[in-house]
Structure 1
Amino acid sequence: MQDKPPNWDYPNPFTQAFSVQAEHIDFIGHVNNAVYVSWCQQAGWEHSLSLGLGFAEYQALDAAMIIRRANYDYILSAYTGEECIMGTWLTANDHKLTMERQFQLLRKTDCKTLLRGHWQLVSIRMSNGKPRRMPSEFDERYGAVVIERDA
């Protein structure tokens, strides 16, 4: 970030940097909304990998966390050549079946928020796609980094 410190919605985000490329721009001249969604997906997966839960672990446990519902608030536009940083947090875990993940995308030069996102996630059995109780590994690793939201 430049001179201004980031104003994150929650403390200690997992962050991932993104550079706006020409292929991210739509016919209106700014980053296409689908690109923001893709960046959320990438940041969420990288956060999971940093916690030691990747595809191999999902396969071994026959479990995965999948998106049940996603909401995005597109606040400001980004343009070719701009640098952005995505912050993400796990903000709820019922220790059984569901978790929540929040996202905030900032432009590096002025730290303005471009996007906020919210996912509701559910644990499934990979072999049949049906909901299942979270394996203890999910609860331990994901649950250890849940940020408590203000009520």
Structure 2
Amino acid sequence: MNNFFEVKIEITVEDIDDLNHVNNAVYVKWMDDVAFKHWEHLTKNEPITDTIWVVSRHEIDYKSEAFLGDEIIAKTYVGNTRGVTSERFIEFYKGETLLAKSKTIWVLLDAKSYKPVRIRENILNLLQPFK
């Protein structure tokens, strides 16, 4: 996949658990942060304020450990987007080592009613380069 959006992650002491590695739950927070930064990047020239994204499902496969002081790069891209849902994939790397990979299903909601809305062409066009 050549169309990754990348985010560098700084591991903090708060990310570390009793086993002295990044806690599994921290990856969920990172997934949210990476998705938010990507969406912010995509809409920086034309903010979209009448809709919001919410998570409907997360899947995470943990492959290796990360420790305080490690440099982590998260790479994300968008998968199938249709109807009211969009897939987002994120892979977390320490150097060439895959630490974790995730798939999240996002649902687009109307920002006022919080009801699902069909993903419009303007949003599809933003996400297309990342398919």
Same fold judged by TM-score > 0.5?
Answer: yes
Q: Are 2:125 and 1:140 equivalent residues in the alignment?
A: yes
Q: Determine the structure 1 residue equivalent to 2:84.
A: 97
Confirm or deny: 8 A CA contact 2:54 2:107 kept in the other structure. yes
Unmatched runs of 5 consecutive residues or more in structure 1? 1-9
State the structure with more CA Rg: 1
Structure 1 pair 42–114 and aligned structure 2 pair: CA distance change class (3 A): same
Aligned residues: 131
| Higher share in strand | 2
Q: Determine the structure 2 residue equivalent to 1:57.
A: 47
* Alignment RMSD: 1.8
1:1-55 per-residue CA deviation (whole Å, 9 max, x = no partner) reads xxxxxxxxx223100011222221011111011211111111111111111169x
1:23 aligned counterpart, secondary structure: helix
Q: Are 2:11 and 1:20 equivalent residues in the alignment?
A: yes
- Report matched runs for 1:1-151 at 5 Å: 10-52=1-43, 57-59=47-49, 62-94=50-82, 96-108=83-95, 111-142=96-127, 144-147=128-131
Residue type at the aligned position of 1:30: H
1:38 aligned counterpart, secondary structure: helix
1:141 aligned counterpart, secondary structure: helix
Confirm or deny: 8 A CA contact 1:63 1:134 kept in the other structure. no
1:110-138 per-residue CA deviation (whole Å, 9 max, x = no partner) reads x1000000011111112121111123321
Query: In the TM superposition, what is the alpha-carbon distance from 1:77 to its structure 2 partner?
Result: 0.9
